[in-house]
Structure 1
Amino acid sequence: MARILVLYKTPKDRDAFDRYYAATHIPVAKAIPGLKAYDISRGTVATPAGPSSIHLVATLTFESLAAIEAAFASPEGKAAAADLANFADGGVDLLVFDTEPV
């Protein structure tokens, strides 16, 4: 499996972010071809030392890195990537990686 970890930094308006994310971005992202699983953090995102600058974490799971590449080359993947500018005004980091069970 391969994953995309999306770290959404604290937005200017948390409530507006949450509303847009739930009503608009989740349906757009769930339409990405090849998406096997999609989950998001619930509640505060903290560090062992206390608060963090991260508002929400999303994890998208695909079969492979090649599947991620194909997914984001698709019209649905491009739409999801372009949608970030509509609500992620605090900034966003995307980490893409392959996984292995241990």
Structure 2
Amino acid sequence: MAKMIVMYDQPKDVEGFEQYYHEVHIPLVEKVPNIKGAKVQRVLQAMNTTEKLYLIAELEFENPAVLSQSLATPEFQEVQRDLANIMKYLNKPPVVVIVD
């Protein structure tokens, strides 16, 4: 199994972020091939950090090779391009990690 984890800080425009994220960004992500599972969780509390984490999204794939293949697809490239649109609601880009 492999996961892509995306961590968003507190948005500068919470209402705009929520609307855009759920109505535009998530539908783009849902088109990415080979996703086995997905979760979006609101952060209630973060410890041992000064980051003001707001939201964490997890995308699960069969294995690292499948994840890599999915990242190379036109569908994922569209998700990447959409980051420019979502940035108007954020103070800084989300942190993205890939784990196995």
Give TM-score, length-normalised by structure 1: 0.85
For residues 46 and 74 of structure 1, the distance between their equivalents in structure 2, rounded to whole angstroms, comes to 34
Alignment of 1:12-91 (within 5 A): 12-42=12-42, 44-48=43-47, 52-88=51-87, 89-90=90-91, 91=93
Post-superposition Cα deviations, 1:49-101, rounded to whole Å, max 9, x if no partner, equal 79851111000000111111111110001111111221133320000011xxx
Percent identity over paired residues: 31
For residues 40 and 72 of structure 1, the distance between their equivalents in structure 2, rounded to whole angstroms, comes to 19
Describe the SS at the equivalent of 2:96. Answer: strand
What's the C-alpha RMSD, in Å, of the aligned pairs? 1.8
Offset, 1:26: 0.5
For residues 12 and 75 of structure 1, the distance between their equivalents in structure 2, rounded to whole angstroms, comes to 30
- In structure 1, the gaps of 5 or more residues are none
For residues 85 and 37 of structure 1, the distance between their equivalents in structure 2, rounded to whole angstroms, comes to 25
The equivalent residue for 1:94 is 96
Describe the SS at the equivalent of 2:33. Answer: coil
The count of residues paired between Structure 1 and Structure 2 equals 97
User: Is contact 1:29-1:80 (8 Å) kept?
Assistant: yes
Give TM-score, length-normalised by structure 2: 0.87
Offset, 1:37: 0.6
Describe the SS at the equivalent of 2:81. Answer: helix
What amino acid is aligned across from residue 34 of structure 2 in structure 1? G
Shift of the 9–50 alpha-carbon distance from structure 1 to 2, 3 Å rule, reads closer
User: Is contact 1:45-1:51 (8 Å) kept?
Assistant: no
- In structure 2, the gaps of 5 or more residues are none
